[in-house]
Amino acid sequence: MASGQLSRAEALACSGCRHACHVMLYADTKAQLFGRIPIKHIILMQMRFDGLLGFPGGLVNPSKETLESGLTRELSEELGLALPISVEDHVDSCFAPASSSSSSHLITHFYVKKMDEEQIREVERAAASTATDHGLEVLGMIRVPLYTTKGGGGLASFLSHSFIGSARSQLVDAMLRFNLVTPGELHKALTHSLKTHA
Ligand code: GTP
Ligand code: MN
Ligand code: MN
Ligand code: MN
Ligand code: MN
Ligand code: MN
């Protein structure tokens, strides 16, 4: 386990901590941009109410719900459908850097769930129609471009946007861990992205 990380059990043992759970939903695809650039994978993120990019999910209250049922509740609000998330989908838990607006520690739990392309499309349709948070806490779901175009657009440009908390490094780490980009492609994109912060 890398520094800053804690196990699920250690995280739950922190009584005074607040907990947030977020999930990266992704699928494989054979689709090609312009009929020639392989899209390879669809990764879902969202444009939040505060103008920052992040993953769907939110604050969970472990005294009233499990981490995973709390995450499923947040997904019903933000995506408009109940998506069962299990302990097996858990990737890591980390302390978020102390914020000035709150005295209690925030632990962020990250999950990754692979779906079919059609299931991802269903999530996108529900998020834009029946989700109660649509247009409020969530301004829209977006897909992450994993390719690099001739002009250097694609993943590098995407990573230059502003992200909430550690969402950018959660994305980068998960792309590597689940082999969604090669280390070489990722290195190139990180080098060309304007913002090099974690
Ligand atoms: P409310 O219903 O308004 O309380 O929002 P929420 O429950 O949906 O909470 P939110 O998704 O904003 O997550 C709670 C906190 O977790 C945020 O204030 C951020 O500090 C942090 N956070 C939000 N999204 C992400 C994310 O994608 N990754 C990480 N690491 N942290 C996030
Ligand atoms: Mn066109
Ligand atoms: Mn929410
Ligand atoms: Mn949220
Ligand atoms: Mn919430
Ligand atoms: Mn809410």
State pLDDT tens for residues 97-127.
Answer: 887 777 789 999 999 999 999 999 999 999 9
* Three-state secondary structure call for residue 24: strand
Which residue has its alpha carbon closest to ligand 1 atom 7? 58
* Count of domains forming the chain: 1
* 167 close to 54: Cβ distance less than 8 angstroms: yes
Domain membership flag for residue 65: yes
For residue 32, report the distance from its CA to the centre of ligand 4, in Å. Answer: 31
Identify the domain containing residue 63 by its residue range.
Answer: 5-145
Atom number of ligand 1 nearest to Cα 108: 30
* Three-state secondary structure call for residue 13: helix
Domain membership flag for residue 132: yes
| Domain containing residue 104: CATH number | 3.90.79.10
Domain membership flag for residue 104: yes
Structure tokens at 181: 């980009």
Instruction: Provide the pLDDT for residue 151.
Output: 81
Question: What confidence category does residue 198 fall into, taking pLDDT thresholds of 50, 70 and 90?
Answer: very low
Domain membership flag for residue 191: no
Which residue has its alpha carbon closest to ligand 1 atom 9? 58
Which amino acid type is present at position 65? E
Q: How far apart are CA 59 and CA 42, in angstroms?
A: 25
* Rg of the chain (C-alpha set): 17
* 129 close to 80: Cβ distance less than 8 angstroms: yes
56 Cβ below 6 A of ligand 1:
no
Domain membership flag for residue 171: no
166 Cβ below 6 A of ligand 1:
yes
Domain membership flag for residue 114: yes
183-192 and 167-177 helices, crossing angle to 10°: 150
167 Cβ below 6 A of ligand 1:
yes
Instruction: Provide the pLDDT for residue 15.
Output: 82
Positive or negative, the CA dihedral 83, 88, 91, 192 is negative
